[in-house]
Chains A and B, each alone.
Chain A
Amino acid sequence: MTRRERTVDVLVVGAGPAGLGAGAELAASGAGHVEILEREQVAGGIPRHCFHGGFGTGRAGGAVTGPGYARQCVAAAVGAGARLRTGITVTGWAGPRTVDTTGPTGLERITARAVVLATGARERPRSARLVPGTRPPGVYSTGELQQAVHLFRQRIGTRAVVIGNEAVSHAAVDTLRVAGVDVVALVTDQPPSLPTALAPLLVRARHRTPLLTHATVTGLTGRERLTGVGLRHHDGRTTTLPCDTVVFTGDWIPDHELARRGALTLDPGTRGPAYDASYRTSETGVFAVGNLLHAVESAGTAAAEGRAVAAPVLRRLATGGWPAERPALSVDAPLKWIAPNLFDPDGARPLQGRFILRTARRLPRPHLVVGQDGRVLHRQRLLLPAEPNRPFRLRADWLDRVDPHGGTVRITAV
């Protein structure tokens, strides 16, 4: 086996908004040789195939489309002097900060002084959701659907059902429309949400598509082609929606293979690497940013984290320091996760001074309590309801009350 052995100062794995943001800021702030590796032929990550607007600005329907945003991110990184290499896959670890890569130019073994993982997140497929039935063609995730329609102009089908009711589900509906597919319904197992009796109407107004709430998918039918999606409604009724296409949207999982193969500690809630506000994982010299940490936030958030990792990386290159033990931050059900989820002993604050959280079930006016070893550190009432699959935030101004040598910091909704 002949691998070309190389060294760089900072190696960024993944050229989505997060990795490109990191590469841009690191190169601009003099981190030395900054190299970004991207396994796809074209850099930009998920936004490459999101042809709707609303990127970067945080405003839905804003002017910048996904591909446009991806190009901006690439231009910023390359313009700042980062070396961006596409078509190169990181296939595994050969040491603490040494990775193996494969590309058309051959095999390499790259050692870095700091590694930034930015491998993103994906939607869980039908199989992972254990949806029974047959395995016919016509079953998609949003990621595959968007690429099929926008990048390859492939024929999709005539009648589709969309599983999920998050932002990405509505993006899937839009993409299906572009492809000339009738959308029969959006289906979610969540109860109808209020203020919010309005929500189904709003959905219908936006898409002219019915939203079926409180419905679980019981199976797929069809052999040569999908013929229907079976549903069980809240009242026990079962129905089959005839269709030739189904899109399983949302239900994200971080693409954590490299993180796990590198023995990074995962947060049980996010299933991404556990990390502190300086984006430091459990492994010395290994940072992580973007949706690998929290599936999923907006591209703007991912890019901002990428830029924000530059300062702690530079500190690491300068001082070589790394925290040993840090108390974990952990949530109680029905909260699902909090990010960051390690206490930062160096006093760094999360992005915009706030933690991001998720809940499994709707909380009308959640009252969040933060405690450690029986001590209450902070209480906060949120003004808006917390909804499943939507971010809500917790202030971070209580962090100086955390005992850095104490136990797990628990966040509870009461």
Chain B
Amino acid sequence: MTPTVTTAKDLVHSLPDGGAAAYDVTVIGAGVVGTALARELARYPIRTALVDGSDDIGNGTSKANTAILHTGFDAVPGSLEGRLVREGQRRLAAYAAATGIPVERVGALLVAWDEEQLAALPGLLAKAERNDYHAARIIDAEELRAREPHLGPGALGALEIPDESIICPWTTPLAYATQAVRAGVHLHLDCRVQQIDSGPDIHTLTTTRGPLRTRYLINAAGLYADELDRQLGHDAFTVTPRRGQLIVFDKLARALVDHILLPVPTAAGKGVLVSPTVFGNVLLGPTAEELDDKTATGSSAEGLALLREKGRRILPELIDEEVTAVYAGLRAATGHEDYRIRDYPDQRYIAVGGIRSTGLTASMAIAAYVTELLAATGLALGTPAELEPLTMPNLGEASPRPYRRADLIARDPAYGALVCHCEGVSAGEIRDALASTVPPRSKDGLRRRTRAGGGRCQGFYCGAAVRALIEEATP
């Protein structure tokens, strides 16, 4: 089957039967949630479309988070979110192992910096138990110091969550989308849904690339899910973006920290964390700022100053290291401490809203849950098939990257020809990404697929060469 990924041109040529037929299901939004859904639906003999207004998958909140595969130890017990995070963690951990998505089980330490926080640890431990997480334990100041010798002075103890892991946030939705597209899902990019007209059998979506007709509709539009929901006549939730700014420190800082260092949540808020990344950097963040602009993904001087001040307390030496990147993501907060997933069988419509700060972890469980809801609305899904197995390029430092693999280089010298020196990215990997099922269409897209240009020099050495390779591949 030739994969259908469309951009730029009118949609009509790529629609089922040249636009004469409708899709069975259309998923709006190709973030980590929408791509996971598309992958789940790809198992069934139905015609599925995945549409996104951006020029790439995973280009919204899904590209800018803290990349932690949560255990759900601190979820609200009994919530849908809590359940889907726990189930999603198990599913995604297994999927990652099978497809080569980088994951490192580094474990988390919730560090108590004062008596109040120390006193809160037993309550958090009990909450973890209620969330069916039983491996947590409290460690004292001495053990904490032994395990994190670079921690700032004054740490009194910690709650250890050995299964909290770090994951590659970019490979995850890309793996989902790749598998979905290879199994026949149509992916339409640059395709913003502007209006939805719902008839008795068919929804007609007016998009920036023309009309698209579908029998069933799933709204996974992240920050914009409320606006689409209103188009279908509902007033169920309002998304208020909550910005999280993050600082990525140089790889030379990686040796300073071994675990995810989580703050103890207090009345004053969630606080900031320090975490290694699967790329071998160290993250500091996020901030939590209520905004009303859904496009405000910039950083601010105040935000960066606040993070540096907090970071200096947690890991003083970190602040002396060079900063490789600064970014910000927007959580889709709805003023409600749970996801907003709701089916409207009469409308053949499911809203997947309010996927706030755990959507990466929960993505596969959300997809399975929504697919069940979809079946319950009356869509005959048919018998599921096994998806073609997939192996993703390895972007993680925990297993050998191509430039360290004699076997790969012997077979194809392009894996030994480094283009991006800071991140160790070879010409072979860039070539592969540019020719992949869901190819990048910008420098940022290529960076998310290969890490090229994402290192400490930010393109001083390789920026122009990388751009030339993209321009060669995309006429």
Given A104-B409, A141-B458, A154-B467, A132-B299 contact (CB < 8 Å): yes
Q: Give the distance to chain A from B470, nearest Cβ to Cβ, in Å.
A: 11
Q: Determine whether A151 belongs to the interface, using a CB cutoff of 8 Å to chain B.
A: yes
Bound together, the chains give a CA A221 to CA B299 distance in angstroms of 10
Q: Determine whether A382 belongs to the interface, using a CB cutoff of 8 Å to chain B.
A: no
Partner of B406, one of A1, A152, A154: A1
Number of interface residues of B (CB under 8 A): 46
In chain B, what residue has the closest Cβ to A87?
A: B417
Q: Determine whether A311 belongs to the interface, using a CB cutoff of 8 Å to chain B.
A: no
Cβ contact within 8 Å between B295 and A128: no
In chain A, what residue has the closest Cβ to B427?
A: A104
Bound together, the chains give a CA A89 to CA B327 distance in angstroms of 30
In chain B, what residue has the closest Cβ to A144?
A: B463
Q: Determine whether B424 belongs to the interface, using a CB cutoff of 8 Å to chain A.
A: yes
Partner of B464, one of A3, A39, A133, A151: A151
Chain B residues within 8 Å of A133, by CB: 298-299
Cβ contact within 8 Å between B252 and A132: no
- Against B, the Cβ 8 Å flags (1 = close, 0 = not) of A115-145 are 0000000111111101011110100110110
Bound together, the chains give a CA A273 to CA B406 distance in angstroms of 31
Name 7 interchain pairs, CB-CB below 8 A, sorted by A: A1-B400, A104-B414, A106-B409, A122-B461, A127-B324, A128-B322, A137-B443
Q: Determine whether A413 belongs to the interface, using a CB cutoff of 8 Å to chain B.
A: no
Q: Determine whether B421 belongs to the interface, using a CB cutoff of 8 Å to chain A.
A: yes
Within 8 A of A (CB), among B419-446: 421, 424, 442-443
Within 8 A of A (CB), among B385-441: 400, 403-407, 409-410, 413-414, 416-418, 421, 424
Q: Determine whether B303 belongs to the interface, using a CB cutoff of 8 Å to chain A.
A: yes
16 extra interchain contacts, Cβ-Cβ under 8 A, other than A130-B301, A132-B299, A143-B461?
A: A87-B417, A102-B409, A102-B416, A104-B414, A125-B456, A125-B460, A127-B326, A127-B458, A128-B458, A132-B298, A132-B304, A147-B463, A147-B464, A148-B463, A154-B464, A253-B322
In chain A, what residue has the closest Cβ to B418?
A: A89
Bound together, the chains give a CA A218 to CA B304 distance in angstroms of 12
Q: Determine whether B468 belongs to the interface, using a CB cutoff of 8 Å to chain A.
A: yes
Cβ contact within 8 Å between B304 and A125: no
Chain B residues within 8 Å of A137, by CB: 442-443
B residues at A contact (CB < 8 Å): 248, 251-252, 295, 297-301, 303-304, 322-327, 400, 403-407, 409-410, 413-414, 416-418, 421, 424, 442-443, 456-461, 463-465, 467-468, 471
Cβ contact within 8 Å between B457 and A122: yes
Q: Give the distance to chain B from A146, nearest Cβ to Cβ, in Å.
A: 8
9 interchain residue pairs of minimum CB distance: A125-B458, A104-B413, A147-B464, A144-B463, A148-B464, A143-B460, A104-B416, A134-B298, A132-B299
Q: Determine whether A2 belongs to the interface, using a CB cutoff of 8 Å to chain B.
A: yes
A residues at B contact (CB < 8 Å): 1-3, 39-40, 87, 89, 91, 102-107, 122-128, 130, 132-135, 137, 140-141, 143-144, 147-148, 151-152, 154, 218-221, 223, 253, 257, 260-261
In chain B, what residue has the closest Cβ to A107?
A: B406
Cβ contact within 8 Å between A105 and B458: no
Given A122-B457, A132-B300, A141-B460, A147-B403 contact (CB < 8 Å): no
Bound together, the chains give a CA A152 to CA B458 distance in angstroms of 18
In chain A, what residue has the closest Cβ to B297?
A: A134
Cβ contact within 8 Å between B464 and A128: no
Q: Give the distance to chain A from B450, nearest Cβ to Cβ, in Å.
A: 16
Cβ contact within 8 Å between B403 and A91: yes
Cβ contact within 8 Å between A132 and B326: yes
Bound together, the chains give a CA A400 to CA B150 distance in angstroms of 41
Bound together, the chains give a CA A171 to CA B471 distance in angstroms of 26
Cβ contact within 8 Å between B417 and A124: no
Partner of A127, one of B325, B403, B407, B410: B325
Q: Give the distance to chain A from B460, nearest Cβ to Cβ, in Å.
A: 4
In chain A, what residue has the closest Cβ to B305?
A: A130
Chain A residues within 8 Å of B471, by CB: 154
Q: Give the distance to chain A from B406, nearest Cβ to Cβ, in Å.
A: 5
Given A106-B416, A130-B326, A219-B458 contact (CB < 8 Å): no
Bound together, the chains give a CA A261 to CA B255 distance in angstroms of 11
Cβ contact within 8 Å between B421 and A39: yes
Cβ contact within 8 Å between A152 and B464: yes
Cβ contact within 8 Å between B323 and A128: yes
Cβ contact within 8 Å between A125 and B424: no
In chain A, what residue has the closest Cβ to B457?
A: A122
Bound together, the chains give a CA A3 to CA B463 distance in angstroms of 30
Bound together, the chains give a CA A1 to CA B405 distance in angstroms of 7
Chain B residues within 8 Å of A39, by CB: 418, 421
Cβ contact within 8 Å between A219 and B301: yes
In chain B, what residue has the closest Cβ to A135?
A: B327
Chain B residues within 8 Å of A91, by CB: 403-404, 424
Q: Give the distance to chain A from B471, nearest Cβ to Cβ, in Å.
A: 8
Cβ contact within 8 Å between B323 and A123: no
Chain B residues within 8 Å of A134, by CB: 297-298
In chain B, what residue has the closest Cβ to A120?
A: B461
Q: Give the distance to chain A from B255, nearest Cβ to Cβ, in Å.
A: 10
Bound together, the chains give a CA A152 to CA B465 distance in angstroms of 8
Cβ contact within 8 Å between A3 and B323: no
Cβ contact within 8 Å between A106 and B304: no
In chain A, what residue has the closest Cβ to B252?
A: A260
Q: Give the distance to chain A from B24, nearest Cβ to Cβ, in Å.
A: 34
Bound together, the chains give a CA A144 to CA B462 distance in angstroms of 7
Bound together, the chains give a CA A255 to CA B471 distance in angstroms of 29
Cβ contact within 8 Å between B461 and A257: no
Q: Give the distance to chain A from B298, nearest Cβ to Cβ, in Å.
A: 4
Bound together, the chains give a CA A87 to CA B304 distance in angstroms of 38
Bound together, the chains give a CA A143 to CA B421 distance in angstroms of 14
In chain B, what residue has the closest Cβ to A149?
A: B464
Partner of A102, one of B299, B418, B460, B461: B418
Given A122-B457, A141-B458, A223-B295, A152-B410 contact (CB < 8 Å): no
Q: Give the distance to chain B from A252, nearest Cβ to Cβ, in Å.
A: 10
In chain B, what residue has the closest Cβ to A260?
A: B252
In chain B, what residue has the closest Cβ to A232?
A: B301
Chain A residues within 8 Å of B325, by CB: 127
Bound together, the chains give a CA A105 to CA B295 distance in angstroms of 47
Q: Give the distance to chain B from A126, nearest Cβ to Cβ, in Å.
A: 7
Chain B residues within 8 Å of A105, by CB: 413, 416
Bound together, the chains give a CA A219 to CA B467 distance in angstroms of 25
Bound together, the chains give a CA A387 to CA B423 distance in angstroms of 35
Chain B residues within 8 Å of A144, by CB: 459-461, 463-464
Output the residue of B325, B404, B463 with the most chain A CB within 10 A. Answer: B463
Given A125-B458, A130-B323, A144-B459, A2-B406 contact (CB < 8 Å): yes
Q: Give the distance to chain B from A262, nearest Cβ to Cβ, in Å.
A: 12
Q: Give the distance to chain B from A233, nearest Cβ to Cβ, in Å.
A: 16
Q: Give the distance to chain B from A163, nearest Cβ to Cβ, in Å.
A: 14
Given A102-B416, A132-B304, A107-B409 contact (CB < 8 Å): yes
